[in-house]
């Protein structure tokens, strides 16, 4: 399932009974922190391409938390 940032924010805001702007700030802060921690968010096609080339650096233990 692929969602735009707007769709994701709307779903999170509705689910957690938050205003859209607050949900947007939380989501973008989380993505920024993930980038700073070395996690990169990519679409499935790009992920599969990187996986085939053996260029993924993912801590699978951290992803399972």
Tell me the per-residue pLDDT of 24-63, one tens digit each, with 9 for 90 and over.
Answer: 999 999 888 887 777 766 677 877 887 788 766 654 444 4
pTM over 0.95: no
Residue 44 · residue 50 · CB < 8 Å: no
Residue 12 · residue 6 · CB < 8 Å: no
Q: Which domain holds residue 9?
A: 5-63
Task: Write phi, then psi, for 23 (nearest 5 degrees).
Answer: -60, -40
What is the tally of structural domains in the chain? 1
Q: How far is CA 35 from the centre of its chain?
A: 10
- Here the contacts of 32-35 (C-beta below 8 Å, separation 24 or greater) are none
Tokens representing 5 are 């940032």
CA distance 8 to 3: 6
């Amino acid at each position: 399932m692929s969602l735009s940032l707007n769709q994701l924010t709307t779903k999170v805001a509705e689910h957690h009974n938050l205003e859209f702007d607050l949900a947007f700030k939380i989501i973008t802060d989380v993505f920024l922190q993930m980038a700073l921690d070395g996690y990169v968010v990519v679409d499935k096609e790009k992920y599969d391409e990187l996986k085939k080339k053996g260029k993924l650096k993912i801590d699978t233990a951290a992803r399972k938390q």
